Amino acid sequence: MRGVRGAIALTQLLVAGTIVAGGAGAGVALDQTGVFGGGDETVEVSLDAVSVYDCPDGAESGEVHRGDRVLATGRDGSGAWIEIRDPRDLGARVWVKAPYLVPDADLSGLDVRDCEEVEVALPTTTTAPSDGGGGGGGTAADTTGPTISGVSANPNEIWETFPSLCGEMAKQSTITASASDPAGIASLTASWAFGPVNQTKNIPAQFGPFPYLTVPDNTQPTITITITARDTHGNTRTATTTVVVHSAAQCSI
């Protein structure tokens, strides 16, 4: 996991379904309408899904979604990027582009951080058996990803929604899986490239429903859903499942 030097600014972000509670000491409350209590600054993401990055202009490491609530911990010197607590790994920090956020208060008071200030903790090591030659034992870093099991899409066939068609047909599939790792599981997500926007959701995840004309009439594409498990050392493993999405027009044939 990654740690951050210096004090963390107690600033909340509102990422315009899943709610992730604010960090320790934030001193705010969430009511059922999704409005923050207290006077902490909030910002709202202007898109359904926004990419997050390991560093400004660095590698993409995931997404935040409409309804997520995360803790802002800093900004870059230009103010173009905001550092936030990673909702998938609360001990880690990631960056999001500031233009995608709609703040309701001035965030210029956040600490200015360089990405180099984020330190990667050394993984747990194990001592190799001595060869008896008097030399010191070596160490081996944990580079093994989690074990994924029980991957399921239920049902594995769904239909588009249309008011007068396919009334009894399934419109949504539940994606489930489990993961295990000696170091602990930091996140378990399902992602797919289909429909209006690409999606990444925490498991269990709902795939669908999709409106009429998401797929061409009288077709039934098979959509691949990727399951990604990440352990607390950052190692990942993936698995896949599929769901067939039928056009609502097929119900009239």
- Is there a common fold for 2-120 and 147-252? no
Q: How far apart are CA 171 and CA 168, in angstroms?
A: 9
Determine the average pLDDT of the residues in 232-251.
94
pLDDT digits (tens, 9 = 90+) for 118-157: 443 444 444 444 455 555 555 678 889 999 999 999 999 9
Determine the average pLDDT of the residues in 162-188.
93
pLDDT of residue 108: 77
Q: How far apart are CA 68 and CA 16, in angstroms?
A: 7
pLDDT digits (tens, 9 = 90+) for 46-94: 456 778 888 887 777 777 776 666 777 788 888 888 888 777 777 778 8
What's the CATH fold of domain 147-252? Immunoglobulin-like (2.60.40)
**C-alpha angle 26-20-196 in degrees, rounded to nearest 5:** 135
Domain layout of the chain by residue ranges: 2-120, 147-252
pLDDT band, residue 181 (cuts 50/70/90)? very high
What homologous superfamily does CATH list for 2-120?
Answer: SH3 Domains (2.30.30.40)
pLDDT digits (tens, 9 = 90+) for 5-50: 333 333 344 443 333 333 332 222 222 233 333 334 445 544 567 7
Rounded to two decimals, what is the model's pTM? 0.47
**Contacts of residue 127, Cβ cutoff 8 Å, sequence gap at least 6:** 137, 138, 139
